[in-house]
Chains A and B, each alone.
Chain A
């Protein structure tokens, strides 16, 4: 009759001895607990509900934007532009580091006060450190004839809203 204990001794080197087994079990459990703790913190620190303004903006009646105008809405940080080819809206957030740009009518361009990026009225970069053009935002006309903009959806450039 051989007991379990004897088996371990016989198979020396081939399998874990008891001490090694429990050390590995202990370290493994600590590892699992550490990963769990990280996941816990990650989830806790990411808020599930945000009290932020809606991405959808009602920009008002379309006749507020005459032909050739570039209008900055400071509160929602978007430009509403009306040129001969149609209406469109641009994000006013500089693609460099997130400052709010401004329309400079005397220069006929959009300029960022932080690091000097410049864009034309279609949002294309003319100068400065900005890596990308100003994004075009999804724009449509509501049933009441008001311009609506969804700031969370970017569309390809030069997709005009024609009325």
Chain B
């Protein structure tokens, strides 16, 4: 019988429980559509309105969205990997090997985590090139560019701290070299390295510190800055459209000209 499912949903959406959760109510007016975004805690960071052409693949390539997508995949697979991984010297390497060869779907999850990590670094760079060459970093969006640079650094640090966790030769020497680079900082370099490793050698303390950085501190930092990043997009008028946002005004005359053009 056609229309049954729609009738069912229609009834569901009129129930008191549904209305108590989604308070914007039923309707297809602009107001209803706007409220549906505004009154949702997850969506309210995003613009309530997006220009239709910004949703075309050609317009944005979705590079920022894809970067977020890989981050979500990394969080989910990372949490699952944490259930089998002990960040201790005698266990770390064999736990990663068990994930590869013993745990059901462990190989799939580990590879998914690894490839998503590579993809996230690549996509973050691609996103930044896109933003740069399109000029979307200009006023009033320059602060969001800075947030983006912070997010790139957090992404690279996540990548780097994750590198130590398999506790193999590659990990050991990569972290030895990397932390020695940090000791090149004038005056406090050796102290930074000592604090980062929790000692003078890449050892049990270093493994635990990198684990905590990788699984707690850096992801939380990333989420915080991601929230600011998305919220700024909304405040700066949604995704960037070159035709309506001519960038930096050099004088008041330019500004009034631009205002007229955009009308």
Contacts and interface: CB of A to CB of B under 8 A. Distances in A.
A52 interface: yes
Contacts of A42: 195
B177 A114 contact: yes
B176 A97 contact: yes
Interface string B184-216: 000000000011001111011100000000000
A107 interface: no
B149 interface: no
A116 interface: no
A98 B180 contact: yes
B204 A51 contact: yes
Contacts of B177: 97-99, 114
Contacts of B198: 45, 47
A50 B180 contact: no
Given A45-B195, A97-B181, A52 B203 contact: yes
A50 B199 contact: yes
Given A47-B199, A50-B200, 8 more contacts: A46-B194, A47-B205, A50-B199, A51-B204, A52-B199, A97-B176, A97-B181, A114-B177
Interface string A111-131: 000100000000000000000
B201 A52 contact: yes
Nearest to B184: A97
Contact of A52 (B173, B181, B200): B200
30 contacts: A42-B195, A45-B195, A45-B198, A46-B194, A46-B195, A47-B199, A47-B205, A50-B199, A50-B200, A50-B205, A51-B203, A51-B204, A52-B199, A52-B200, A52-B201, A52-B203, A96-B180, A97-B176, A97-B177, A97-B180, A97-B181, A98-B176, A98-B177, A98-B179, A98-B180, A99-B173, A99-B176, A99-B177, A114-B173, A114-B177
Interface in A26-59: 42, 45-47, 50-52
Nearest to B209: A45
Contacts of B204: 51
Contacts of A45: 195, 198
